[in-house]
Structure 1
Amino acid sequence: MLEIDCRGLKCPEPVIRTKKALEEIDEGVVVSIVDNITAKENVSRLASNLNLSYDIEEKEGCFYISINKFKEDRQKCDFASNDDIVIMITNDKLGTGNDELGKVLMKSYLYALTEVSPKPKVMMFLNGGVKLTTEGSEVLENLNKLADAGVEIISCGTCLDFYGLKESLKVGIVGNMYSIVEKMHAAAKVINIG
């Protein structure tokens, strides 16, 4: 049995730590301890999505989520199969509404992306998304981690020119619309974030 103490951790850290613990063991039980309902639901959803059985026990204001991973679950539980995923990011914020919240969400999304498998094959940054790949971006550390993990990072050259940022590119390469279209057409899955 492997116990993971996720009390006090912000989203998505409890899910990431629980998933890593499950990846570390061939067989057995991972107990994830969380201290809020959102984390309880997210970790439970992880187990469900991996087709693993789980039990939840509440004690002293915390939730103890016991996730069972046994030999018969191995065929059902797939952690890493790269399907040539391409992610297209078209804004420096995630979602609409409050810009500050959008920046926090984008930072959290890119951090979570460094922690999951499979990694995308390519990440393309268009329009306001190119601001994330240039000098002064708060997410350069995570983008560099993704690049170091083999993710191809492409920023639209026209977009960089439009914002006057071509000389400020700090991660990845400058691409053009033709290469961007080629990557999208060759992908098994394209995810648009913006």
Structure 2
Amino acid sequence: MITVNAMGDKCPVPVIKTKKAMQALTGPETIEVLVDNEISVQNVTKMASSSGGKVTSEKLGEGEYKVTIQMEGAPAASDAAEDTACIPDARGNMIVVMASDRMGEGNDELGKVLAKSFIFAVTQLEELPKTMLFYNGGATLTCEGSDCLEDLKSLEAQGVEIQTCGTCLDYYGLKEKLAVGSVTNMYSIVETMAGAAKILRP
């Protein structure tokens, strides 16, 4: 495990430090990058992904984020030349709404697999959503035991607001098991949806 401490560093320094650590690899290795803002998470994630790394990220606390990069070795020379310029905030005014823990009609197990794939696909969007809303059966996706937590934590670390309906958590007995994001109410859900430029539903 290699740790890159980029706390307090402004763009593009976190990307440069991470790239140097990647270029020094002689075999498979995991690199942990510590940063203090969401834009750095987005920039490091973009660079590492384009260099062949498997990237996840997590918000550890206020102003504290961890990006984990799994590499098979040093990136190819063409990858290493990837631009280190700072990208603007990748979040647009789009809202993703998850009203169920499954996607589509038909087989429930297939529906759950599709819902997980849908959330992963959201992590790969060029423009990330501003907020993801979870209510009714979708509330289970943000709680302990969900297969989607890794992807949702990665989105949260990049500044995506993960909000789950409090009434729904109470109904399903999950209030103490919320594992990512925050609790919201119906007024806030309606206000968020009303103000969105685009709403994406699976």
The TM-score bracket by the shorter chain reads: 0.5 to 0.7
- The 5-angstrom pairing of residues 1-194 of structure 1 reads 82-193=91-202
> In 1, Cα distance between the equivalents of 2:91 and 2:119?
18
> How far does residue 113 in structure 1 lie from its aligned partner after superposition?
1.1
> In 2, Cα distance between the equivalents of 1:173 and 1:96?
29
> How far does residue 137 in structure 1 lie from its aligned partner after superposition?
0.4
Extract unaligned runs of 5+ from structure 1.
Answer: 1-19, 25-79
> In 2, Cα distance between the equivalents of 1:155 and 1:189?
19
CA RMSD of aligned residues (A): 2.0
Extract unaligned runs of 5+ from structure 2.
Answer: 1-45, 51-88
- TM-score where L is the length of structure 2: 0.55
> In 1, Cα distance between the equivalents of 2:162 and 2:190?
14
Does structure 1 retain, via aligned residues, the 8 Å contact 2:119–2:151?
yes
Q: Deviations over 1:51-71 (max 9, x none)?
A: xxxxxxxxxxxxxxxxxxxxx
Aligned length: 118
> In 2, Cα distance between the equivalents of 1:103 and 1:82?
26
> In 2, Cα distance between the equivalents of 1:89 and 1:98?
18
Percent same amino acid at aligned positions?
53
2:201 match: secondary structure: strand
2:128 match: secondary structure: coil
> In 1, Cα distance between the equivalents of 2:186 and 2:91?
24
Does structure 2 retain, via aligned residues, the 8 Å contact 1:92–1:131?
yes
> In 2, Cα distance between the equivalents of 1:147 and 1:83?
14
> How far does residue 185 in structure 1 lie from its aligned partner after superposition?
1.2
Please identify, of 125-134 and 101-110, the stretch whose mean Cα deviation from structure 2 is larger. Answer: 101-110
1:124 match: secondary structure: strand
Q: Deviations over 1:43-94 (max 9, x none)?
A: xxxxxxxxxxxxxxxxxxxxxxxxxxxxxxxxxxxxx975400011000011
> In 2, Cα distance between the equivalents of 1:99 and 1:110?
17
- TM-score where L is the length of structure 1: 0.57
Read off the aligned partner of 1:148 and give its amino acid letter.
A
Does structure 2 retain, via aligned residues, the 8 Å contact 1:83–1:189?
no
Does structure 1 retain, via aligned residues, the 8 Å contact 2:92–2:128?
no
> In 1, Cα distance between the equivalents of 2:201 and 2:120?
17
1:118 match: secondary structure: coil
Read off the aligned partner of 2:107 and give its amino acid letter.
N
> How far does residue 191 in structure 1 lie from its aligned partner after superposition?
1.8
Larger radius of gyration: 1
Q: Deviations over 1:147-174 (max 9, x none)?
A: 0111000000000000000100000000
Does structure 1 retain, via aligned residues, the 8 Å contact 2:139–2:164?
yes
